[in-house]
Structure 1
């Protein structure tokens, strides 16, 4: 039985218990070897997903598990409220539109609307992509404090790439985000997939913290023809959609 399956079974079991549980009881009730249960529990504890109550010799869910649940609780209202807004944006512009949230230094797509007769994108629901390469990610990163950016991108090794384009070091990212703040929207040109271009706008909570971003993607490459005019026109629509979602989530 794969270790991932065993790990998830242990977490699910702890989540259903009204009180902390002994490792021996977990092994017995799940039909797993004790040595396996102890090994997996210690690994989970090191990551904060469970805690060991030494005095009672029992185990319980840790803070990291609750953070996962909190992330789900935050994403669901955003997806529910954002879906009709993103769908309307896609219909209006004839371009694919999506809604994403931050997950570490990645973006996680929670709503995807593909325009009619347009190719499928990599930005499907549940997909993660490096935030510094995407329009949604750049829109949210630009709204984060500089200290948070430094923590997420401490050096060149924190900058994976997909097509050979995009920032490669912290100084390049800082300049890119400065431009995003100056324009009021983010762009991406072939950094996620060749021949595709996106614009995105941030959705903030009442404190100004970025909770999501809306973007549209279309076929276009600035190496072939200037795109600034279309960027600005689409950005107006995207910003309006982001502002509408922001109003609905903060009222």
Structure 2
């Protein structure tokens, strides 16, 4: 769930309710949300009513369940088109998946987590957690670490402070010291690896998508399995992944991606 700031007021509470409903990934009853809600029943009910009236939530009177509303879908689609790397990067993601024969992920940070924007399956699809629209941990995914490594120290510290360091596999990095050591190595190499850190048998190589001034726009990864490729074979794809990430960054600049436009203004061009 997104971190709510003090002083966000009713808008912040409403967005938190939308996050809670979305987190169920299915139609949900009011009572189910109430169980996990930090708000009193009356406050939560009023938020539900307002969000439903505004089309941000939909209500099924027969099943007495709530779901995300059509207006929210419309806004999400507009955000995907205007502020997401996905439309810009689509052709590059397609080409990288076709040339490598592997699964390709495109991602950006959502606060301290990884938001998967797009995914292209391998020629022989493999079962894994990641899907477009899903949120994943930053500390144990290749694309999360690749992006984190090129952020400023203050932002890195903020993101690290919000990681759970849960041990998903025997290879998961479970301490800040281990993660920071890996991030230092990524900064030197220019790419990161997921060595079965999030899911057993799943490995990946990832590169950050950076503006010319080094601002992180997102991340790109190629994912395979230990049954199909070794870490060394996957690492051999680094130049191709990095080149594609650079191509996406250039395209984002041409489309005047919001973060890039800020860099241009600061540069005085």
TM-score (norm 2): 0.63
- Say if 1:171 and 1:87 are closer, same or farther in 2 by CA, change over 3 A: same
1:79-120 deviations in Å (ceiling 9; x for gaps): 001111111101100101010001122101011000122223
2:149 matched residue in structure 1: 142
Cα distance in structure 2, aligned partners of 1:232 and 1:74:
32
Q: Note the residue ranges of structure 1 that are not aligned, 5 or more in a row.
A: 1-5, 12-34, 45-67
- Say if 1:75 and 1:144 are closer, same or farther in 2 by CA, change over 3 A: farther
1:217 matched residue in structure 2: 223
| Aligned mate of 1:102, from 87, 100, 109 | 109
Cα distance in structure 1, aligned partners of 2:148 and 2:14:
33
| Aligned mate of 2:160, from 153, 156, 159 | 153
Cα drift, residue 193 of structure 1: 1.3
1:219-247 deviations in Å (ceiling 9; x for gaps): 117xx99633x233211111011010011
1:203-225 deviations in Å (ceiling 9; x for gaps): 1234422111010001117xx99
Cα drift, residue 37 of structure 1: 7.1
Root-mean-square deviation over aligned CA pairs? 3.2
- Say if 1:36 and 1:243 are closer, same or farther in 2 by CA, change over 3 A: same
| Aligned mate of 1:236, from 234, 239, 262 | 239
1:128 matched residue in structure 2: 135
Cα drift, residue 135 of structure 1: 0.8
2:207 matched residue in structure 1: 201
The within-5 A match list for 1:14-163 is 35-36=42-43, 40=47, 72=79, 76-154=83-161, 158-163=164-169
- Say if 1:39 and 1:166 are closer, same or farther in 2 by CA, change over 3 A: same
The within-5 A match list for 1:3-22 is 7=14
| 1:177 is aligned to 2:183 | yes
1:48-93 deviations in Å (ceiling 9; x for gaps): xxxxxxxxxxxxxxxxxxxx98x93687541001111111101100
Tell me the secondary structure at the aligned position of residue 217 of structure 1: strand
| 1:227 is aligned to 2:227 | no
Cα distance in structure 2, aligned partners of 1:178 and 1:121:
27
Cα distance in structure 2, aligned partners of 1:240 and 1:80:
18
Cα distance in structure 2, aligned partners of 1:149 and 1:94:
33
1:117-147 deviations in Å (ceiling 9; x for gaps): 2223321101111011111101100001122
TM-score (norm 1): 0.67
1:1-43 deviations in Å (ceiling 9; x for gaps): xxxxx957x99xxxxxxxxxxxxxxxxxxxxxxx5478649xx
1:166 matched residue in structure 2: 172
2:56 matched residue in structure 1: none
4+ residue stretches of structure 1 with deviation over 6 A? none
